Amino acid sequence: MNLYQILEQNQKFQKFLDSEENLFYLKNRIVLERFPMYKHLAQVSTDFEIMRSNIIIRSLQNKKAIEAAVRFAVKNNDVIKREKDMVFFRTFIREKIIDLPFANDQKTRLYVPIFNRVINQIYSEEFEKLLLTPYDKLVDEFETLVVDPFEIYNFSLYDSLFTQFVKVYSDDDIMAVFHYDFQAIYFIDKQGRLDNKIALFDRGIRHPDFHHILERIRPVIAAYVTSNKEAMLQALVDKKLISEKLINRINSQDYRFRMSLIRKIK
């Protein structure tokens, strides 16, 4: 068991199973089985993989909501029928979808990141194209057009309304986010996959202090991105994020493991 697994196993408050994220996933995951690219995500069990899966599920829900708004506008709005005013049409749709989650990609709102940027332009701005050939086929015949959104949009999906993550740090290679409900730091690589997770507040901390948490985790993140394990563990203790007792146990296990390797080499 590695360092990160030990921290997760010893976390005092483990709320994920009863969380909104997990319940949403369990209720909606069946929609992922329709797509060969996403089918494996219908059977995941870790918190990060479930939150990744929920981004795709919410994308599919957004797609249906936007298409329904377009149909409603055409069917029920006399101004659009009479004047064929595209500016009014687009404004009308935007007002209908104002509460949908999205990510920002340069100047485009990504409501449906399971599609490439060209198709997302249609779902974020050029809604009228959904009424025209060949784009009208996007409504029902789109399975072959889906992409891996994490490869294409990576960090922007996690710093968006699709998740409850709070971005704390990013560079060209890695992003660090924090989740308040799950009290954990997630390090995400540039392919949009989990690099590592640091679960905070183990059972050895009798009275956890949740104040100013973002400032307190910054030294931990700084040490992680420079691959300074010793400084990272010390920051976890200094900022009262992990108990000194657990860190000492981890260091002791690490020492014994290194000694066993040395004996084997000799």
C-alpha 223/C-alpha 221 separation (Å) is 5
The SS3 call for residue 176 is strand
Q: Hey, where are the domains in the chain?
A: 3-15+165-265, 20-147
- Predicted confidence at residue 106, as pLDDT, reads 85
What backbone torsions phi and psi does residue 170 show, to the nearest 5 degrees?
-155, 150
Residue 179 has pLDDT above 80, yes or no: yes
pLDDT, tens digit, 9 for 90 and up, residues 185-204? 999 999 999 999 999 999 99
pTM above 0.75, yes or no: yes
With both helix axes pointing from N to C terminus, report the angle between 47-76 and 117-124 in degrees, rounded to the nearest 10: 50
- Predicted confidence at residue 225, as pLDDT, reads 97
Please report the sign of the dihedral spanned by the C-alpha atoms of residue 136, residue 140, residue 66, residue 112: negative
- Predicted confidence at residue 76, as pLDDT, reads 72
Residue 257 has pLDDT above 90, yes or no: no
- Predicted confidence at residue 15, as pLDDT, reads 86
- Predicted confidence at residue 192, as pLDDT, reads 94
Q: Which amino acid is at 207?
A: H
When pLDDT is averaged across residues 197-223 and rounded to a whole number, the result is 97
- Predicted confidence at residue 248, as pLDDT, reads 92
Residue 84 has pLDDT above 80, yes or no: no
* pLDDT level of residue 79 (50, 70, 90 thresholds): low
Q: Which of 114-123, 126-135, 257-266 has the lowest mean pLDDT?
A: 257-266
What backbone torsions phi and psi does residue 141 show, to the nearest 5 degrees?
-120, 75
Q: Which of 24-38, 52-66, 74-88 has the lowest mean pLDDT?
A: 74-88
Residue 266 has pLDDT above 90, yes or no: no
- Predicted confidence at residue 88, as pLDDT, reads 81
pLDDT, tens digit, 9 for 90 and up, residues 104-118? 998 899 999 999 999
Helix and strand numbers (H, E) in the chain are 11, 6
When pLDDT is averaged across residues 129-152 and rounded to a whole number, the result is 93
- Predicted confidence at residue 87, as pLDDT, reads 82
When pLDDT is averaged across residues 172-197 and rounded to a whole number, the result is 96
When pLDDT is averaged across residues 62-70 and rounded to a whole number, the result is 96
In eight-state DSSP terms, residue 188 is E
For every residue of 53-73, DSSP letters joined together read HHHHHHHHHHHHHHHHHHHHH
Residue 77 has pLDDT above 80, yes or no: no
* pLDDT level of residue 55 (50, 70, 90 thresholds): very high
Q: Which of 110-119, 207-216, 253-262 has the lowest mean pLDDT?
A: 253-262
- Predicted confidence at residue 251, as pLDDT, reads 85
Average pLDDT score over the chain: 92
